[in-house]
Chain A
Amino acid sequence: MKFQTFQIGGIHPEGCKISSNQPIEIMPIPEMVYIPCAQHIGKPAEVIVQKGDKVKVGQLIAKASGFVSANIHSSVSGTVTAIGPIPDLSGVAKNGITIKVEGDEWLETIDRSDTLLTNVDDIKPEDIIKLVSDAGIVGMGGATFPAHVKFSIPLEKKAEALIINGVECEPYLTADHRVMLEKGEQLLVGVQLIKKAIKTDIAYIGIEANKPDAIELLTDLSRKYQGIVVVPLALKYPQGSEKQLIKSIMNREVPSTKLPIDVGAVVSNAGTAVAVYEAVMKHKPLIERVVTVTGNSVEKPSNFLVRIGTPVKYLIEKVGGLPEDTGKVISGGPMMGKAATNIEFPVAKGTSGVLIMPDEISHRKEPTPCIRCGKCVDACPMGLEPYLLSVYSNKKMWDEAEEHYIYDCIECGCCVFSCPANRPLLDYMRLGKSTVMGIIRSRKK
């Protein structure tokens, strides 16, 4: 088997995929769910229910407030008890809807049977985008970009290929892996639907070499469909990043400040493809997702199918409780995930995993002087110079930072990972990037 990959930079962190053999378990519905209004990139959704309203599973409770926004549906049936601040992992309460669970009553329009529907011929592309938009589907890899925006190709551009991201290059996370293994058929139908929506004939499914079972299964299943190619990829972080994945699979470089569609590619996560299948064929909105709950000292690392809004506390109880030596709880993977201040925060559409790190590895080491070894330069997948950019950002030299393309940074963390002097390069670069982006935006006005 030939493994493709991208050329510039990249690192090889330990895989630690300890939960990869755990089948997806269905998480029991909690007593209360907290559904945030901003689970996607773009404007937060507008709440359309009121305190005291009865809602059913799948009922629209917050409406997209613009094109780049997404609908939010109730993931449980019960009574809305509050609209207002709900816990968030950052410690700052966010706006959201609290629902007290009563039974499990679904909207009648949702097809809850397991029958696989594969006939996509009669569905029009516009309808697919409409249904995806109605279902509130967002990119489920973690970036949470509304899917209908991505699938609506601007007139002057043409999608040449669809790329399905089954890379899951973050260590520890196995949610996409399990989805590909257990919902392979649905995934492929979803791929057919997305292909139709974006009017392209070819789809590549990129899977990294550490998931041979998924590569084998999907290669087998895809023989039944026209124009789906499974591309095995060599292990390298951050291959799951859009730009790197397009380079790996299509050998095309998305130019700086441009989007994947500019080189004719649309990238979508494996989980998103399954959600598209469910939305279009089964009329089921995005109300649940697969979440990996893992960590070295976790009793039973698992993959759960969780209703959106379930507090993470329940998931942790289910894997055997928070271990004694917990030092850090991370929402997402160890490379790009966010450290949480509490475990009350709810699972959102973009929560791909909850990683519980023991205290001994959750501390940063004392930074020492930069020895100018250039390891960050070698590791940077965007070909930037992190050692320089972090200094510019720290010294507030925004013009110089811009000249050195700080806005190209994808915040993958390769530089910090490889720095022998434990310097907090990305902390400063992230700050510099957002400041420089702000300066560029204000200049355009």
Chain B
Amino acid sequence: MSNLFTISPSPHFKSKTTTSSLMFGVLIALAPAFLFSLYFFGIGALITTLVSVVSCVLFEYLITKYFLKQKPHVCDGSAILTGVLLAFNLPSNISPFIVIFGALIAIGIAKMCFGGLGCNLFNPALVARVFLLISFPVQMTTWPVPIESRTSYLDAVTGATPMALIKGGQKAGDITTIANLPSFNEMFLGSIGGSLGEVAAIALILGGVYMIIRKIITWHIPVTIIATVFIFGGLCWLINPVSYINPIYHILGGGLLLGAIFMATDYVTSPMSNFGKIIFGVGIGIITIIIRNWGSYPEGMSFAILIMNAFVPIINRKFKPTRFGAKK
């Protein structure tokens, strides 16, 4: 025997799933949404996503290598994923400098300050998005009109999103009078204004189904968020259809599906146990509707997820998995 036996404690068998295979699985799930957004926003979508991904990866590499003095492990795909998710939360006609700034916030502050992969309390892409929303309110809320702006980038024709239209209607006192609100069909297929990745509901749902089938995520978080929004939003609508919009608009409009399927399910910042995930989902749904119906922002998803992220440690402490043979 030339080579020595390897000894390790059991088990000696390992599933093929690795951190990077999970991360690239999520990226594959995001591909349909990206294709739709290329179709609607053209060159702008491509440039924004590329800038975001490259800068996220670069920041991650530089920070791990020169600040933390560790071996950089950018190949695990987590920085790429953060980059894509950040880009998906931005309008496609945004200046690349803002995107780079956002990437620095996402990787440098939201991720690395907490200790890198696995240690961050808040979803890095969302922290960056909210940071940019507050710092650059104008650039972050002028969305290009789909299809028309396919060939232009920074000088794209801009228009309002359905959620902004609805918020305008609410402020005026009667949402039933809103003109040119897109049809469900348009919202489903994504030919509406909005952030790069959030417009096409069908593509996002497709990605979600793919991830659930491949067991990258469990159904708990996305389904509870959507169900809560539907029920809570629906109740408001039934009570007062003049001030509050149909819950289907809530679900299809804005970043809800993107948030529910891709942002809230982020491993690091979501609870561990299935029951905890349900609590987390319900919380996000309720906060989203509260912000959308009574807050001053048309969009509530990002804030809702970040608020619930802060509760994750408590949820993890309080809601343990069902134990085998627990005394009842």
**Residues on A close to B: CB < 8 A?**
8-9, 11, 13, 171, 243-244, 247, 253-256, 258, 322, 326-330, 332, 334-342, 355, 357, 359, 362-365, 368-375, 377-378, 380-385, 387, 405, 408, 411-413, 416-418, 420-422, 424, 426-427, 430
Contacts and interface: CB of A to CB of B under 8 A. Distances in A.
A417 B325 contact: no
A373 B15 CA distance: 15
B10 A426 contact: yes
B325 A422 contact: no
A295 to B, nearest CB: 11
B180 interface: no
B295 to A, nearest CB: 30
Given A8-B322, A371-B267, A418-B15, A337 B5 contact: no
A334 B11 contact: yes
26 contacts: A8-B322, A243-B324, A244-B324, A326-B3, A327-B5, A328-B7, A328-B8, A335-B11, A341-B5, A341-B7, A357-B12, A368-B19, A368-B76, A373-B22, A374-B267, A377-B321, A378-B274, A382-B323, A383-B322, A384-B323, A411-B10, A413-B10, A420-B21, A420-B22, A426-B11, A427-B9
Contacts of A326: 1, 3, 5
For the complex, would chain B's binding face be called helix, strand, loop or mixed by DSSP majority?
loop
Contacts of B324: 8-9, 243-244, 247, 253, 256, 381-383, 408
B67 interface: no
A256 B323 contact: yes
Nearest to A431: B9
A322 B1 CA distance: 9
Contact of B10 (A171, A254, A337, A371): A337
Given A339-B7, A383-B326, A416-B11, 14 more contacts: A253-B324, A254-B325, A258-B325, A334-B11, A336-B11, A337-B10, A339-B5, A365-B14, A368-B18, A374-B272, A405-B323, A417-B13, A422-B14, A422-B18
A373 B18 CA distance: 11
A256 B325 CA distance: 5
A72 B271 CA distance: 52
Interface string B112-135: 000011110000000000000000
B321 A413 contact: no
Contact of B17 (A9, A332, A375): A375
Nearest to B78: A371
Instruction: Kindly state the interface size class of chain B when it binds its partner.
Output: 35 or more
A195 to B, nearest CB: 25
Nearest to A376: B272
Interface string B169-193: 0000000000000000000000000
B11 A385 contact: no
Interface of B: 1, 3, 5-15, 17-19, 21-22, 73, 76, 78, 116-119, 218, 267-268, 270-274, 320-327
A312 B13 CA distance: 22
A417 B11 contact: yes
Given A327-B6, A368-B76, A373-B22, A378 B218 contact: yes
Given A322-B1, A359-B3, A422-B14, A377 B273 contact: yes
Contacts of A335: 10-13
B312 to A, nearest CB: 9
Contacts of A411: 10
A413 B11 CA distance: 5
A389 to B, nearest CB: 12
A339 B8 contact: yes
Contact of A364 (B8, B116, B268, B270): B8
Contacts of A11: 15
B26 to A, nearest CB: 11
A88 B118 CA distance: 41
A357 B267 CA distance: 33
Of A9, A247, A377, A420, the most chain B CB neighbours within 10 A belong to A420
A382 B325 CA distance: 8
Given A339-B12, A371-B118, A372-B268, A363 B323 contact: no
A256 B323 CA distance: 9
A430 B9 contact: yes
A219 to B, nearest CB: 29
Nearest to B272: A374
Contacts of A381: 324
A397 B11 CA distance: 24
B12 to A, nearest CB: 5
Contacts of B17: 375, 418, 420
A75 B6 CA distance: 31
Contacts of A384: 321, 323
B19 A420 contact: yes
A369 B116 contact: yes
B298 to A, nearest CB: 32
B154 to A, nearest CB: 36
A410 B177 CA distance: 64
A11 B16 CA distance: 13
A340 B12 CA distance: 12
A334 B5 CA distance: 15
Can you list the 9 inter-chain pairs with the closest CB atoms, starting with the nearest?
A: A413-B11, A383-B323, A373-B267, A334-B13, A374-B272, A369-B118, A382-B324, A339-B7, A335-B11
Contacts of A424: 9
A413 B17 CA distance: 15
A328 B325 CA distance: 36
A341 B6 CA distance: 8
Interface centre among A369, A370, A427 (most CB of B within 10 A): A369
A427 B251 CA distance: 45
A332 B13 CA distance: 12
A18 B18 CA distance: 26
Nearest to A338: B10
Contacts of A329: 5
B267 A372 contact: yes
B326 A256 contact: yes
A338 B14 CA distance: 15
A421 B118 CA distance: 10
A365 B73 CA distance: 14
B11 A408 contact: no
Nearest to A362: B6
Contacts of B119: 369
A411 B19 CA distance: 23
